[in-house]
Structure 1
Amino acid sequence: MCGPIPLQLENLSGLVELYLGGNNFSGTIPSTLGLLTCLTHLDLHSNQINSTIPSEIYNLENLMVLQSGTNNLFCPISSKIGNLKNVVSLNLSHNLLIGPLPHTLTNLRSLVKLNLGGNFFYGTIPTEICNIKGLMTLHLGTNNLFGPLPYELSRLTRLQYLNLSSNKLSGRISTNLQNLVHLSVLDLSLNKLSGPLPTQLTNLHALEQLLLGHNNLTGSIPRVAYPFKLTTIDLSHNLLSGEIPPQLGNLSFLQYLDLSNNYFTGNIPPNLVFWRQMNLSYNSLTGPLPECFCYYFGPETIMDNKDLCWEKNISGYYYCFGSPHINIGSTSTENVTKWIKIILPIVISFIFLLLGIVLLSRQKLIENTGPECKAKRNGDIFSIWNYDGNIALEDIITTTEDFDIRYCIGTGGYASVYRAMLPSGKVIALKKLHRLESQKLTFDKSFRNEAKVLSEVRYHNILKLYGYCLHRRCMFLVYEYMEKGSLFYAISNDVKAKELDWKKRVNIIKGIANALSCLHHDCIPTIIHRDLTTSNILLNSELEAFVANFGIARPLNLDSSNLTTLAGTYGYIALVVTLALACLCSNPKSRPTMKHVSQEILARKPPLPKPFYEISMWDLMNQEIYLII
């Protein structure tokens, strides 16, 4: 259903429950709904309603459920909301509501579920909310709230779900949170919290998800017993140090552990290798990897731990042979000789077989390609445009040592990026599709689409493609190397962000605009990028912006339908539009100031605490459940 909400609803004076959610209603909320005094349930969620909340709604004294999430409601919440004393569930999430949280929320003594996440509320968290003793769900995430965590949160002893993520909260995590004995989800990620990780949190025996990533927490992880129900632990992107406690390996229900981007030292406990997902990258871990580690996890899960080694000779890691961690004295000379006699002939036969295959392949390649392709050495699968000198496939394989992990500078959901210096001294970037993903039609199509688009477009602010290799066994793209990495990394790193003064940021915006202008106006047909995020904007040594990642780009044909499925990075769609709509508030005093707008543009946080490809269907289902309550 679409169009405005019918005004004739006011004639249904005896109406008790009104469900209009999940439609396409637009316009305003009729103030005449306030005449339906018998109403107990009002559900308007997931529409296109663009208005304030009429003050007449707050006169519905019998109202128990108010669901208006995922709309375009704007302006502050009136203090009259305290009149809804019988409300049990209040959901105004994912709107354009601004201003401080009203202190009159404390009057909602019957409230069990409160969801105001995904708005633009600012100020501190009112301590009066902590007087609602029956509250079981409190979601204030993804706002602009600041200040310390209220000490009074410990009063909410029935609380089961607490989400204060993606705000600007600071200070320490209070030890009295241990009083929340029924808490199953604690999400304080993406804030500015500091201090040690309280040992008392391990007393939350009902806890299933502990999400404290992207803060400034210090100290070590407590070496105590943890709640056995834990399924998710995220402590990534903090300042934690010390050894990883082996007690974490006793959590039989744990499915996801992220300790990346910290300062952990010591060995990896051997009982950590049986979980479905784990990330220990960017730490200072040492010693041999646990047995069967690489069977369960890829090398990207332990990247940038330079002192890790492997008891077998695996490319990219130190070989632990002869180290004090390995006991080789028990192997008798007789057994060693026996194994040599068995393995050596197999190895020699394999080498001769491999040499024969290589020679036959090269001979076939020369016969099929002729003189021109012979000069280019791999011209049938490796194409080069507009580059001073032919880049040969063999040169790339040699310089990267067959894509050794030491040359890897980034890993995504379906591809890894490598840095390579050619014999000529030229530095290039290589985007290589993961071997398993190359067998999937979706990723294969995306890779070929990116090669096709970039081979037809040449512009200063669009990442330059030097060449590509599209073969079912090896697929990679060769790009111009960008020294400063992505714009996302530059603005999320405090040290790097200081290099971006206002003038440089304006130049970056100009560069992006020039690239889009070229795609939209100079290309025939017009090319639509469809995934323009800060992660897909790269910066060179002069901090010039280059648009990259054209995997889902498509031409815009004016003579055919341009309807398409939803594509792009989850959480970024219409991000700027919501901020613009907030500026249309009818009350000038309630509109965000220019300072507030600039802060949102310059310091906007990622919509998700981890990449979309790392989020399981179970995570999405849990998130959706909590967002609609």
Structure 2
Amino acid sequence: MVTGPIPEELGKIYDLKALELSYTLLSGQIPGSLGNLTKLNVLYLFGNQLSGTIPSSLGNLTNLLELDLNNNFLSGQIPEILGKLTRLRLLYLYHNQLSGTIPSSLGNLTSLSELYLNENILSGQIPESLGNLTKLSVLYLFNNQLSGTIPSSIGNLMNLLELALNNNHLKGPIPSSLWNLTRLNFLELAINQFVGPVPSGIGTLVNLQELYLSLNRFSGSIPDALMNLTGLRVLSLFSNMLSGSLPPKFANLTDLVEINLFNNSLSGELPSNVCKGGNLQEFSIGRNKFTGPIPISLKKCRTLRILDFPYNQITGDISNFGPYPHLVSASLQRNKLCGSLSKTWTSSTNSTVLDVAENMITGRLPPELSNLVKLEVLILHANNLTGKIPQELSDLSNLYQLNLSQNQFSGHIPPEFCQMRNLQYLDISANKLSGSVPQELGSCTKLISLMINDNSLSGDLPMTIGNLRGLQIVLDVSNNKLTGKLPAELGNLVVLEVLNLSHNQFSGSIPSSIGSMTSLSTFDVSYNNLEGPLPTGRLFHNASAKWFVHNKGLCGNISGLPTCSSTPIVEYHKATRNHSLELAVSIPVCIVIVLSIFALVVIFQKRKIQEKAMVTDARDVLSVWNFDGKLAFEDIIRATENFSDGYIIGSGGYGTVYKAQLQGGRLVAVKKLHPSEEEMSEERRFLSEIEVLTKIRHRSIVKLYGFCSHSRYKFLVCDYINRGNLHEVLENEELAKELDWQKRIAVAKDVAQAIYYLHHECAPPIIHRDITSNNILLDAAFRAYVSDFGIARMLKPDSSNWSELAGTYGYIAPELSYTSVVTTKCDVYSFGVVVLEIMMGRYPTELQSLSMGQHQELSMDDMLDKRPSSPTVEENKEIALLVEVAVACLQTSPQFRPEMQDVYQKLALQKSHSSFASPSLTLTPEERREV
């Protein structure tokens, strides 16, 4: 294995025709002396740790036919002089950190057949000169920051087979010249800002096999001309603004393997022969307006892996669906489906998601559902299911979400539910269940949400309910027939947000332990037989009286409730007579004292305000800020010269960050929200970040000093962290070297501690929702600070189901593709990605799914960033532990990911060989296209 820098002496082998040094451990810069090898035909340096710029001397290699520098850390601009390599057939520069614009001189490389510039930081427009490359068969420019429109000259590339421009900032309509590329078999334009209708000219691309136009702003109907593409295997148009019905000849596309039309406004009935070719594996048309029956061909499509059509108005009997031997996910909720869950559904033994909620499904649940041993999500709420809940469901050991609410289930709650050790969300409310609440339910210790309300349950609430210490979102047992005293063990549920015990027959007093439940935001015990004083505690200071109405005799210092008297009623009149004289004397005295104190306070406060208004020294001028922020607004306008571009230190999708020095000398970072047509959304995002940051006090989380909501601007003022973000540091060659292994380990631990604090020490817990290397700031000593809480949410019951997909591509947890439930495990997944990014020195784009059963091992030496000095023995141990933890965090199934508390403790104690379920890490050098 070759290691270290490329020797300068190689430049003296003047007759060398091929130099292949790929996938070694080469580091350092490409020596300029290689430009002396003028007879060179092939130069392969890909898959190394090379850094620095591409030397301009390579422009001397005029005999070069193939130049491959992919998968390194090369930075800077692509040299214009490369345009002199006119014999070049292959140019691979992808997966580096190249910036600047694409040189127009590349249009001189008229012999070029393949050009790969993808996965860099290239900006500016695509040069018109690329239209000169008429021999080009592959043009990959995806995952950059290119802007403007697609140049019409691209239509000259008549030999082009593959064109990928996805994940840029391209806009405008697609030029009509693109439809000249009749040999094209792969077209990827997703994640841009293209507008207008999908042009009918696309029908000329008769050789097209894969078409990706998703996540743009296309409108209008799907053109009939698209049906000319009879060889099409993948059609991805999701998340646009398409409308109208599907073309009648849609069934002509018999080679289709994947159809994704999710999140548009399409309507009408589905084509009758949508699975006519027998090749269809993914059918995703959710969140549209489709009506009519399910086509028979789709019901009998045995090749299906993903069947996804929620939020439509589709009809049909699901009893005769399937069998689907390869089915992984079925999401059919909120339609007009009828029938029963027949045994054919139980043959899909690879299924992980089954959601047919909010339909008209009837009959009993087949016990054979227990055959679906890989099932993770079972959602059947709001149907007309009857009979008993099969105890066999307890065999679904991977299940983490079970919702059977709003049905007609009867009988008892199966005590065997406790065997589902990974269950986090259990909702069996609004049924006809009877009997007692089983004590065994207290063994489901991973439960986050438990809803058994609106049934006919009776008996005591078992003490074992206090074992569910992980309950965070809600415990709802309301509208039952429960009796007896409230167990004091309820006080163990210290992270619980909502506790609803209303409309039962509970008696006795409210346990004092309830007062220590500091996370409670709602505590409803109305319509019971409770008596005695309310507990002390924060919640009961401003509690709503409606939570306590219709009880036997509750009292407390809450408006609407009688106050609790320490004097017995029978002694009332005697006590009144004995104290009447004392009251007559004491009341006037008290009034005089109170008025005197009030006058003094007013005078003091007025003087204090005047003093603060005159502060101009180094004291904390930010402490005087309020919501209007008059002082804040004027100070920041002055410090940034009215938000001049010269003060910009960063910019993101929702705001620009400025560096400002206040009059007292303090440096702060000012995050100003971008103006937008979506003002309400901006306001919510702004208030969300304020709400979160004002509740946080942690060393590894950026501190908020103040905020301003002004008619012209909205901004936050936070600590100024002078090193920039982690992503920028890892991209900078010198800083990445300076970020040695000791510092990298410390950064990972800082981030782990910050997320642990958000999840486990904040009440209620806070989900960040966008943990990325861009949102981790580093100070001069490379200490890490988590920032940007613009989409963070408190884990409250009214915000546990979010329909919008928030976060950054590549860091978002995979379950958010099929469920809207956002949990702390989403942050855990993102943390795993960031840790690998720290270890590898770049985003781990080659990381394959850890749940697909692949077990090809990769040595640690191959994986680690080669820019810092080699780690010591002790550092190697900590790195191995971090990678082990990261892989566990990247589990596809959230219930198999550790809690951040476990992660933090493992790292703090430096314990390896943990109980984390962590399959082998699999990395391949293959190029991966992502949408």
Fold match, TM over 0.5? yes
Determine the structure 1 residue equivalent to 2:287: 190
| Aligned residues between the structures | 438
2:257 pairs with 1:132: no
Determine the structure 2 residue equivalent to 1:571: 805
Which amino acid is 1:7 matched to? S
Structure 1: where are the runs of 5+ without partners? 322-347, 351-357, 363-374, 385-390, 402-418, 428-456, 461-504, 531-547, 576-606
Equivalent residues of 1:194, 1:217 under 8 A apart: yes
Equivalent residues of 1:2, 1:26 under 8 A apart: yes
> Shift of the alpha carbon at 1:12?
2.1
Q: Distance in 2 between matches of 1:24 and 1:249?
A: 48
Equivalent residues of 2:154, 2:177 under 8 A apart: no
Equivalent residues of 1:213, 1:609 under 8 A apart: no
Determine the structure 2 residue equivalent to 1:610: 819
What does 1:157-556 align with in structure 2 at a 5 Å threshold? 157-223=254-320, 225-275=322-372, 276-277=375-376, 278-294=378-394, 296=396, 297=399, 300-310=402-412, 312=414, 318-319=432-433, 377-378=512-513, 381-383=516-518, 396=523, 422-423=547-548, 512=684, 515=687, 524-526=704-706, 550-552=766-768
1:371-397 CA distances to partner (integer Å, 9 max, x unpaired)? xxxx9945994459xxxxxx9x9x949
Which amino acid is 1:572 matched to? A
Q: Distance in 1 between matches of 2:717 and 2:299?
A: 46
**Cα distance change of structure 1 residues 360 and 272 upon mapping to structure 2, 3 Å threshold:** closer
> Shift of the alpha carbon at 1:226?
2.2
Determine the structure 2 residue equivalent to 1:432: none
SS of 2:255's equivalent?
A: coil
1:160-206 CA distances to partner (integer Å, 9 max, x unpaired)? 11111111111111212131311111111111001122233133232
SS of 2:266's equivalent?
A: strand
Q: Distance in 2 between matches of 1:304 and 1:249?
A: 22
Q: Distance in 1 between matches of 2:179 and 2:383?
A: 49
1:543-585 CA distances to partner (integer Å, 9 max, x unpaired)? xxxxx9854399999988886488758833599xxxxxxxxxx
Which amino acid is 2:285 matched to? L
2:128 pairs with 1:31: yes
Q: Distance in 1 between matches of 2:142 and 2:682?
A: 38
> Shift of the alpha carbon at 1:145?
1.0
Equivalent residues of 1:525, 1:556 under 8 A apart: no
1:111-148 CA distances to partner (integer Å, 9 max, x unpaired)? 11111111111111111111122111111111111111
SS of 1:134's equivalent?
A: coil
1:258-283 CA distances to partner (integer Å, 9 max, x unpaired)? 11122222211111134312211222
**Cα distance change of structure 1 residues 91 and 299 upon mapping to structure 2, 3 Å threshold:** closer
How high is the TM-score relative to the length of structure 1?
Answer: 0.59
> Shift of the alpha carbon at 1:610?
2.7
Equivalent residues of 2:251, 2:271 under 8 A apart: no
Determine the structure 1 residue equivalent to 2:141: 44
Within the candidate set 206, 211, 217, 1:120 is matched to 217
What does 1:62-141 align with in structure 2 at a 5 Å threshold? 62-141=159-238
Equivalent residues of 1:117, 1:140 under 8 A apart: yes
Q: Distance in 2 between matches of 1:268 and 1:529?
A: 55
**Cα distance change of structure 1 residues 574 and 180 upon mapping to structure 2, 3 Å threshold:** same
SS of 1:138's equivalent?
A: strand
How high is the TM-score relative to the length of structure 2?
Answer: 0.41
**Cα distance change of structure 1 residues 202 and 566 upon mapping to structure 2, 3 Å threshold:** farther
Equivalent residues of 1:399, 1:420 under 8 A apart: no
Which amino acid is 1:279 matched to? I
Q: Distance in 2 between matches of 1:253 and 1:521?
A: 43
Higher relative contact order (CA 8 A, sep 6+): 1
> Shift of the alpha carbon at 1:149?
1.3
SS of 2:339's equivalent?
A: strand
> Shift of the alpha carbon at 1:16?
1.5
> Shift of the alpha carbon at 1:36?
1.5
Determine the structure 1 residue equivalent to 2:21: none
Give RMSD over aligned pairs: 4.9
**Cα distance change of structure 1 residues 359 and 94 upon mapping to structure 2, 3 Å threshold:** closer
Within the candidate set 4, 7, 12, 2:109 is matched to 12
Which amino acid is 2:411 matched to? C
Moved more, 228-237 or 119-128: 228-237
SS of 1:50's equivalent?
A: strand
> Shift of the alpha carbon at 1:217?
1.2
1:458-507 CA distances to partner (integer Å, 9 max, x unpaired)? 989xxxxxxxxxxxxxxxxxxxxxxxxxxxxxxxxxxxxxxxxxxxx999
**Cα distance change of structure 1 residues 92 and 558 upon mapping to structure 2, 3 Å threshold:** closer
1:317-343 CA distances to partner (integer Å, 9 max, x unpaired)? 65567xxxxxxxxxxxxxxxxxxxxxx
Q: Distance in 1 between matches of 2:389 and 2:143?
A: 48
> Shift of the alpha carbon at 1:519?
5.9
Moved more, 231-240 or 244-253: 244-253
> Shift of the alpha carbon at 1:252?
2.6
Which amino acid is 2:135 matched to? C
Q: Distance in 2 between matches of 1:68 and 1:140?
A: 15
Q: Distance in 1 between matches of 2:768 and 2:147?
A: 31
**Cα distance change of structure 1 residues 459 and 279 upon mapping to structure 2, 3 Å threshold:** farther
1:275-318 CA distances to partner (integer Å, 9 max, x unpaired)? 31221122222210112324534674212325343364799665
Equivalent residues of 1:526, 1:557 under 8 A apart: no
Determine the structure 2 residue equivalent to 1:371: none
Q: Distance in 1 between matches of 2:514 and 2:412?
A: 38
> Shift of the alpha carbon at 1:11?
2.8
1:212-240 CA distances to partner (integer Å, 9 max, x unpaired)? 11111124214254232222211112122
> Shift of the alpha carbon at 1:245?
2.3
Which amino acid is 1:525 matched to? Y
Equivalent residues of 2:250, 2:271 under 8 A apart: no
**Cα distance change of structure 1 residues 173 and 420 upon mapping to structure 2, 3 Å threshold:** farther
> Shift of the alpha carbon at 1:79?
1.6
**Cα distance change of structure 1 residues 228 and 155 upon mapping to structure 2, 3 Å threshold:** same
Moved more, 563-572 or 275-284: 563-572
Equivalent residues of 2:778, 2:785 under 8 A apart: no
Determine the structure 2 residue equivalent to 1:412: none
Equivalent residues of 1:94, 1:117 under 8 A apart: yes
Equivalent residues of 2:524, 2:547 under 8 A apart: no
How high is the sequence identity, in percent, across the aligned residues?
Answer: 26
> Shift of the alpha carbon at 1:91?
0.3
Determine the structure 1 residue equivalent to 2:242: 145
**Cα distance change of structure 1 residues 269 and 86 upon mapping to structure 2, 3 Å threshold:** same
Determine the structure 2 residue equivalent to 1:600: none
Equivalent residues of 1:147, 1:169 under 8 A apart: yes
